[in-house]
Amino acid sequence: MSFVIGFFLLITSVHAQVMDLDSANVEIEIIGEGGHTGKCVKVIIRSLSKVKQKLQLKAGALFKSNNPAEQDLLLVEHIEPFSLEPNAEFSKLVAAFCTQSGNKSPASEAKFSLGKANKKLRELAVFIADNDLVSNAFVQQAVWAVSNDHSVAGIDYRKLDKGTQKLLKMVCALKGEQMPWYFVTYHAPDSTAAFSGVVKSVEGDISFNLAHNDVVTIVLFDQYKQTVKVFADETPYNQGRHSLSFTLSGKEVRPGTYTLKIYNNSRLLKEKVMKL
């Protein structure tokens, strides 16, 4: 009798083992709800097994579009372990974000297949899920910063809420970059892509210290060392700490690398780099 009970418990334990969807005996249907952010995908799972299965799908899965002109989507929430009986069906609307900014946003009823994102995108997706950041306004920019090498400055460093600061620090760590000191916004895209890439504005802040009263020159240079804008030209400043807040329009800057340099009596006092 003890042998039978032990054997039954073993079988029950095996059946209770949680499996990822890609190794389960199921049919998976992934359908777009229209759009490329937030709760925009329905995952339908149908059992093909004769026994009950316990299944899960972790954040970091990649929903690969069947249409090459439309974007693949990154799952940024966990489908927590659930039981699926033989012949049963499970469905859930899940949060996902686009990973190919040059492609169109997926249409309603768009079809996807299940794949796996690269290591950095998986780490970002798990971080978003584990820290309950799905609804943060900058998740799409964070995903594109990793998947398409967009500027980390698409995430507003001035937002001091814990969620945005945690998200920004994670993206900077994944890209091996410093925290930005400027924020860039882009014009709305047309119907050919989910992201325009056209700079609308850049807002930033930079501070500097003077040991005594003196004149200061502040100049923004492009990657070709050409002058883009002069903020101060031999302008008198008092001793102490000073800050410059600025706004640049898309007519003044385009995607590229810029350097803001501060000179004190022709001596370089400070410089900061912007990547748009």
Q: What is the pLDDT of residues 141-181, one digit of tens each?
A: 999 999 999 999 999 999 999 999 999 999 999 999 999 99
Do 167 and 218 fall into the same domain? no
Contact status, residue 55 vs residue 19, Cβ threshold 8 Å: yes
Do 223 and 257 fall into the same domain? yes
Count how many domains the chain has. 2
100/149 Cα distance (integer angstroms):
10
| Residue 185 counted as domain residue | no
pLDDT digits (tens, 9 = 90+) for 41-97: 999 999 999 999 999 999 999 999 999 999 999 999 999 999 999 999 999 999 999
Do 209 and 149 fall into the same domain? no
Do 34 and 84 fall into the same domain? yes
Do 35 and 138 fall into the same domain? yes
Supply 74's token pair: 């990154």
Computed over every residue of the chain, the mean pLDDT equals: 91
Do 93 and 138 fall into the same domain? yes
| Residue 211 counted as domain residue | yes
The sign one gets for the Cα dihedral 218, 150, 131, 41 is positive
Percent of the chain clearing pLDDT 90 (strictly above): 81
Q: Containing domain of residue 221, as a range?
A: 199-275
Domain endpoint, select from 179, 208, 230? 179
Q: What is the pTM of this model?
A: 0.86
